[in-house]
């Protein structure tokens, strides 16, 4: 039988049991967000990025190939915490503050294949945004020709941006561990892939469609999107 020794504790000085608090627990107690880890790939992201944005959570982009779910990349969303906190009611999609999506490849993927998967989600969103703009009505319910014309030009700019993105990825060989970021600002968005030239896009419609791919209706990584929303609510 194991021997257990009990030490008497003075009534005037009760000793609380010493617990081994994890680093994450100590950081949480200080109000500091811990690094975010995707549970599927075990890939971790820092609590803040190089721009000082705060991580909301991490998840995984999974693509079904035949009958197998293949883990393509882990992703984490970063936001300007103060601005996001002040605009919680707008959500991630409509919040007017800086956002950045960090991506790390969980497997080798060539750029063309990456873009083919992106096209499936991004193309229809661009068309939907343009259609909603073109069919907007004034307060009396009248069709506005000027708005429809602007929507056509906006769609052309967004499609041009998609073509440029496709060209930028076409020759890339994305290896496991490759990191990239998608950054959204008030002027549009930019995509940076480690070891490749940075791609910048000034089309607001393209930027919104690309954000919608990850945090809008029917996102490409549903569990990740839910994690991002929970992280936003917890700010």
The CA distance from 105 to 60, in Å, is 10
Alpha-carbon Rg for the chain, nearest whole angstrom, is 23
Q: Is the pLDDT of residue 21 over 60?
A: no
- List pLDDT tens digits, range 199-227: 999 999 999 999 999 999 999 999 999 99
The CA distance from 43 to 37, in Å, is 6
Q: Is the pLDDT of residue 31 over 60?
A: no
Residue 55 host element (H or E): strand 54-65
Question: pLDDT value at position 50?
Answer: 94
Distances (CA, A) of 145 to 116, 130, 132, 136, 150: 34, 14, 13, 10, 9
Which is higher by pLDDT, 160 or 3? 160
The token pair at 121 is 């989600």
Helix intervals (H) in 171-221: 204-215
Which is higher by pLDDT, 22 or 103? 103
Res. 174 pLDDT band, cuts 50 70 90: very high
The pTM of this model reads 0.81
Question: pLDDT value at position 129?
Answer: 85
What SS3 state is found at 200? strand
- List pLDDT tens digits, range 98-149: 999 999 999 999 999 999 999 999 999 999 988 876 665 556 555 556 667 7
Res. 150 pLDDT band, cuts 50 70 90: confident
Question: pLDDT value at position 173?
Answer: 92
Distances (CA, A) of 184 to 17, 117, 203, 234: 48, 21, 11, 21
The CA distance from 165 to 144, in Å, is 32
Distances (CA, A) of 44 to 120, 140, 224: 27, 52, 13
Token pair 């790390």 is at which residue? 104
Instruction: Map out the domains of the chain with their CATH numbers.
Output: 31-233 (3.50.70.10)
Of 52, 70, 50, 54, the C-alpha closest to 62 is 70
């Amino acid at each position: 039988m194991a021997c257990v020794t009990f030490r008497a504790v003075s009534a005037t000085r009760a000793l609380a049991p010493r617990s081994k608090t994890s680093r994450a627990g100590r950081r949480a107690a200080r109000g500091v967000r811990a690094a975010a880890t995707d549970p599927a790939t075990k890939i971790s992201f820092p609590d803040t990025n190089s721009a000082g944005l705060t991580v909301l959570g991490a998840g995984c982009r999974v693509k079904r190939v035949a009958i197998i779910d293949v883990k393509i990349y882990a992703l984490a969303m970063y936001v300007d915490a103060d601005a996001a906190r002040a605009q919680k009611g707008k959500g991630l999609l409509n919040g007017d503050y800086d956002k950045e999506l960090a991506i790390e490849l969980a497997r080798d993927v060539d750029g063309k294949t990456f873009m083919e998967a992106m096209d499936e989600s991004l193309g229809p969103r661009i068309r939907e945004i343009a259609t909603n703009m073109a069919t907007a009505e004034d307060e009396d319910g009248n069709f506005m020709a000027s708005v429809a014309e602007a929507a056509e030009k906006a769609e052309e700019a967004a499609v041009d941006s998609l073509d440029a993105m496709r060209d930028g990825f076409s020759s890339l060989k994305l290896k496991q561990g490759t990191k990239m970021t998608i950054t959204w600002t008030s002027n549009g968005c930019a995509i940076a892939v480690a070891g490749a030239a940075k791609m910048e896009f000034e089309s607001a419609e393209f930027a919104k469609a690309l954000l919608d791919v990850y945090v809008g209706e029917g996102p490409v990584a549903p569990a990740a999107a839910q994690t991002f929303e929970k992280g936003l609510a917890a700010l």
